[in-house]
């Protein structure tokens, strides 16, 4: 599949009388033989957004309000369907490693830069037990201060990860054979 992505992004700041800062983004994807997909959203200062999407073959319009965590989870799940290969040191749609995935998702969905190293990303979270993880939290493998793998928890005992060379970004299930060591809520 070939996708062409056009991104339009702008910001408008409210002025007198308590106006809110608002940004908007519109993406267009053209998929050969399958029509064009447009998605747009307007994000306000409190992290919520209203979304709208349209498909040319079957027009679908949705309007929702979502939290930053929902935006992170939605983008992570979307990336897991795009056959993005594991590439050590990568953090683009042509390839990414585990910390590149988490940094990419948080930058695009929430405007938060986590850095491209698991231990650096630990400094951007409030740590908690894996059993207390909420959708949008990061899961870490290894000791605190020496983590070696990170992923995005999406709920229902599942996470999105860039696992290892030879595999694509994918949804995986937490299991005792490869159990995360701790979780963390991103603080910015």
* CB-CB contact of 119 with 145 (8 Å): yes
Strand partners, 86: 96
Exposed (0-12), middle (13-18) or buried (19+): which is 104, by Cβ within 10 Å? buried
pLDDT of residue 44: 32
Whether the model pTM is above 0.85: no
pLDDT of residue 66: 56
Query: Which parts of the chain sit beneath pLDDT 50?
Result: 1-65
pLDDT of residue 148: 97
pLDDT of residue 96: 98
pLDDT of residue 188: 75
Q: Name the residue among 68, 80, 158, 156 with its Cα closest to residue 107.
A: 68
Whole-number Å distance between alpha carbons of 43 and 49: 4
pLDDT of residue 184: 97
Q: Where are the alpha helices (DSSP H) in the chain?
A: 68-79, 98-110, 118-122
């Amino acid at each position: 599949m070939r996708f062409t992505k056009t991104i339009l992004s702008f910001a408008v700041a409210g002025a007198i009388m308590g106006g809110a800062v608002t940004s908007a983004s519109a993406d267009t994807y053209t998929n050969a033989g399958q029509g064009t997909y447009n998605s747009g959203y307007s994000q306000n200062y409190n992290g919520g957004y209203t979304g709208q999407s349209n498909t040319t073959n079957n027009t679908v319009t949705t309007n929702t309000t979502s939290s930053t965590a929902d935006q992170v989870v939605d983008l992570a799940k979307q990336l897991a369907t795009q056959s993005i290969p594991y590439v050590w040191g990568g953090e683009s749609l042509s390839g990414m490693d585990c910390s590149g995935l988490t940094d990419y998702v948080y930058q695009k969905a929430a405007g938060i830069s986590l850095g491209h190293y698991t231990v650096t990303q630990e400094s951007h979270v409030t740590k908690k037990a894996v059993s207390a993880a909420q959708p949008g939290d990061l899961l870490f493998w290894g000791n605190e201060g020496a983590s070696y793998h990170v992923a995005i928890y999406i709920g229902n005992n599942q996470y999105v990860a860039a696992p290892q060379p030879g595999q694509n970004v994918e949804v995986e299930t937490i299991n005792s054979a490869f159990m995360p060591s701790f979780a963390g809520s991103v603080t910015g």
